[in-house]
Structure 1
Amino acid sequence: MNALTRKGSPGPAGIARIGVLGGGIAGLTMAVALRNAGLDCVVFEQAPRVETAGLGLQITPNASRLLARLGVGEAVDAVATQPLSIDVHRWDDGHRLARTPLGEACVETFGAPYYTVHRADLQQLLLRVLPTDTVRLGRRCVAVRCASDSVTAVFADGAEATFDVLVGADGIGSVARRALADDVRRFSGQVAYRGLVPADALPEWQGEPRVRGWFGPAQHCVCYPVSGGRFISLTAMTPDATVSVSEDSPAAQWNAPAGPAEDGAAPAASLARAAAEAYDGWDPLVRKLLQSAAALSLWRLNDRDPLPRWSRSRLTLIGDAAHPMLPFRAQGANQAIEDAVVLTDCLRQADDVQTALCRYEELRLTRTTRIQLSSRESAEVFHLGDGDLQLERDRDMPERWALRNNEWLFGYRAESAALA
């Protein structure tokens, strides 16, 4: 009998037990995909409550088509925005360097929309389609034990839970990852000021939903509408020369690929002043964005080096636990959604767990590694200093940022990968 038995299947094996560590976008998408495939799972989230905070995400066609396949496409469409384009501007005078058309052009080219959405809105709609007992809150996993025929999660309160398959969707600080690799997180040298700006603070953008970015020496800024256009999500990256603590030191807090620096505890006024100083001399619209944010948080931008494998015995990884990446290609959440769909298809089709997990790695490792490394390289291109190299980049931008050049990224069909 198949090692992963569908709901209602006869036989002594019953329904396979699948556990998911982490209740973020990766873990919740995994749970929805498994449920749609007729496979039971339970999700363990360390937070005591479902978070409603957060900022924006860009959901690109390679992931939005998967959300539609999972049955939440209409719900996403109701809370998200479809931007008309990605506009890239020069840092000081705001001159537009390139425009990538999105909207209907994106749907026509890739068969799916490009969305900007508030992270909490996406998380909530994924939760709503799951049975109420799927997600267990306040359950912090502190260790994972692998055996040949099972895998066990050990929790902070001493409780244990044993599964036929355990999926680590627990972020860059993944406990599950420790069972596979003894690696460390890597600080990029960049921090990000992030915040939400009321859309009516920039009336000149009303009716013009776009992803807007400004590229300048050593740093850049990006913004886009979320929450149905009521707010603008802002991220302003800048170098941080003050960080000297090791990434894995107890003095540092590293809870996500872009984790809050020092628990995000810096006073709001001091963050606003620091952001204004970092962007002194930039396009007035950038400074207006920073000044209009109700509050800013400061995040360190981290990733890890790609792993050669994600699985051991009956344990595997998805999302930031598997391939934490810098945000410069806006693919972190999108790749987690791809992971969840491909892993579910592999589990559904295989005759045994090990075959399923090996197949999943084969299908995902090359692609996510390419995106991880491309995200690092993008920082160098975005942050060129004034001079000949920057002028050459700017001249090439209209061609490089053409929509068709995103075929490898946006046109990828994860829903067909396991069928090949």
Structure 2
Amino acid sequence: MVKKVVIIGAGLGGLAVAIALRKQGIDAQVYEKAYSLRPIGAGLTLFPNGLNSLDAIAPGIVESLEGAGSQTRMLNLRKSTGELIAQKSVTFMEKYGRPMLQIRWSRLQEILASALPTDAIHLNHRCIGFEQNNSGVEVCFDEGETVQADLLIGADGLNSAVRQALIGDGSPRYAGRMSWRAILKYSHELLPPNEVMSMTAPDGKIFGFFDLGSGYLFWSAATLAPDEFVAQSAIDVKSRVQEKFSGWAEPVQAIVKSTAAEDIIERPISDRLPLQNWSQGRVTLLGDAAHPMVPLLGQGANTAFEDAWELSQCLSSASTIEAALASYENSRKPRTQVIQIRNAVQANRAYKADSETYLRGMMEKAQVSDAEFEEWLYNYKPSVTADLK
């Protein structure tokens, strides 16, 4: 039914689905607009549901990831003044058999890319559209090159070119918050290994610190902002962070000072409304291209890995492409829509003026009011056939 698949985007979801499809004997080719797979200043959290999916896609890969990251043992919440508000032990390993794993985004991308043949990843290819008929799909790139395939998967993120050609729903929705992030080799007595710390203030600002292992630390900051204005130079970006978080207790001041200006990434936080359909004919979407989320629950990459596994299973078991994509959507949409909506609502609430009280309440109630959601979210286990989750 499917012999060749073109995947747009060499991010985490695109690489994962390529690995999963090639395990099925399908010629999966990844096309990426970037000139190289270079390191970016971001860390991410892998949860049990994402790790279970990766283990199904590439058995043994989780062990490699655990050796490349940091397994979080403790969550700490402090006021911007430094006062400890709440502390919670992380017991994911005991509950779900998988850790809460912090890892560099670029290191994870590198590990996934190494599981593919080098000639399966094509850099410097910007997708500008596609044409399809009953026999196949032709993918078009900006240099005039075209590629034929049986199926096209858009795994090209929040600003997906495939989504725009397929759905045409315009620009992402600005969530009213600006963010800054960076990775650096750094240590501080207030930031022990295998711990995550968040600091919050009553004016809707949050600053987080994540141990990534091997001496690396990821920090992420965000604040309410009326518009999407982005500073024009690296020096201006760093100055903006220092101004926004002026007066905050350590280790905020020390870590921002220690971070090179050119390593700080400034981005508006955006998402999109859930879609009614992800697929048309021989084209479908995956990961952030299908269901982008604001970064609160940390499920962007994890749900992309779920998508990758289930799409590969649907394509291996259905009699037609249309049936496979229908099964994929029926399985994935209900689950991702719940996560998208809950994520958006909680993120909006977390940045209100009383965020300190709200976040403390979330942590205190996590084992009670959120227990059922947590069980449903993290206890996801891939099946041989993609059933409705």
TM > 0.5 fold call? yes
Deviation of the 1:197 alpha carbon: 3.6
Query: Does 1:155 find its partner at 2:141?
Result: yes
Deviation of the 1:242 alpha carbon: 4.3
Identify the match of residue 56 of structure 1 among 30, 43, 58.
43
Deviation of the 1:205 alpha carbon: 2.8
Find the counterpart in structure 2 of residue 254 from structure 1. Answer: none
Q: Aligned equivalents of 1:50 and 1:210: distance in 2?
A: 29
Query: Does 1:280 find its partner at 2:246?
Result: yes
Find the counterpart in structure 2 of residue 322 from structure 1. Answer: 290
Instruction: Tell me the amino acid that sits aligned with residue 285 of structure 1.
Output: P
Q: Aligned equivalents of 2:178 and 2:46: distance in 1?
A: 22
Deviations, residues 190-240 of structure 1 (Å, cap 9, x unaligned)? 11111124233x13434x3212112333121112012x3411101100122
Query: In structure 2, the residue corresponding to 1:86 is in which secondary structure?
Result: strand
TM-score normalised by structure 1 residue count: 0.85
Query: In structure 2, the residue corresponding to 1:379 is in which secondary structure?
Result: helix
Deviations, residues 337-364 of structure 1 (Å, cap 9, x unaligned)? 1111110111111111110000000011
Q: Aligned equivalents of 1:392 and 1:213: distance in 2?
A: 13
Deviation of the 1:397 alpha carbon: 3.1
Deviations, residues 68-115 of structure 1 (Å, cap 9, x unaligned)? 22131122122111111222223333323241x32xx21121122211
Deviations, residues 287-312 of structure 1 (Å, cap 9, x unaligned)? 33322323322111111111101000
Find the counterpart in structure 2 of residue 67 from structure 1. Answer: 54
Structure 2 runs not aligned, ≥5 long: none
Find the counterpart in structure 1 of residue 105 from structure 2. Answer: 119
Instruction: Tell me the amino acid that sits aligned with residue 70 of structure 2.
Output: T
Change (3 A) 1:242 1:313: closer
Query: Does 1:32 find its partner at 2:19?
Result: yes
Q: Aligned equivalents of 1:18 and 1:321: distance in 2?
A: 17
Asked whether the equivalents of residues 76 and 122 of structure 1 are also in contact (C-alpha less than 8 Å), the reply is yes
Aligned length: 380
Find the counterpart in structure 2 of residue 89 from structure 1. Answer: 78
Q: Aligned equivalents of 2:356 and 2:104: distance in 1?
A: 33
Change (3 A) 1:275 1:108: same
Query: In structure 2, the residue corresponding to 1:188 is in which secondary structure?
Result: strand
Matches within 5 A, 1:125-144: 125-144=111-130
Query: Does 1:167 find its partner at 2:156?
Result: no
Deviation of the 1:326 alpha carbon: 0.7
Q: Aligned equivalents of 2:362 and 2:7: distance in 1?
A: 44
Instruction: Tell me the amino acid that sits aligned with residue 249 of structure 2.
Output: D
Change (3 A) 1:286 1:140: same
Asked whether the equivalents of residues 186 and 217 of structure 2 are also in contact (C-alpha less than 8 Å), the reply is yes
Deviation of the 1:286 alpha carbon: 2.6
Find the counterpart in structure 1 of residue 311 from structure 2. Answer: 343
Asked whether the equivalents of residues 182 and 219 of structure 2 are also in contact (C-alpha less than 8 Å), the reply is yes
Query: Does 1:333 find its partner at 2:301?
Result: yes
Deviations, residues 47-86 of structure 1 (Å, cap 9, x unaligned)? 1212223310111110012222213112212211111122
TM-score normalised by structure 2 residue count: 0.91
Change (3 A) 1:301 1:393: closer
Instruction: Tell me the amino acid that sits aligned with residue 240 of structure 1.
Output: A
Q: Aligned equivalents of 1:151 and 1:87: distance in 2?
A: 50
Query: Does 1:240 find its partner at 2:225?
Result: yes
Provide the aligned C-alpha RMSD in A: 2.1
Deviation of the 1:180 alpha carbon: 2.8
Structure 1 runs not aligned, ≥5 long: 5-15, 245-260
Find the counterpart in structure 2 of residue 215 from structure 1. Answer: 200
Query: Does 1:46 find its partner at 2:33?
Result: yes
Asked whether the equivalents of residues 209 and 229 of structure 1 are also in contact (C-alpha less than 8 Å), the reply is no
Identify the match of residue 362 of structure 1 among 319, 330, 338.
330
Stretch of structure 1 that moved more, 48-57 or 126-135 = 48-57
Find the counterpart in structure 2 of residue 247 from structure 1. Answer: none
Query: Does 1:78 find its partner at 2:64?
Result: no
Query: In structure 2, the residue corresponding to 1:203 is in which secondary structure?
Result: coil
Change (3 A) 1:194 1:33: same
Instruction: Tell me the amino acid that sits aligned with residue 337 of structure 1.
Output: F
Find the counterpart in structure 2 of residue 394 from structure 1. Answer: 360
Q: Aligned equivalents of 2:224 and 2:243: distance in 1?
A: 12
Deviation of the 1:409 alpha carbon: 1.5
Query: In structure 2, the residue corresponding to 1:205 is in which secondary structure?
Result: coil
Q: Aligned equivalents of 2:324 and 2:15: distance in 1?
A: 20
Instruction: Tell me the amino acid that sits aligned with residue 394 of structure 1.
Output: R
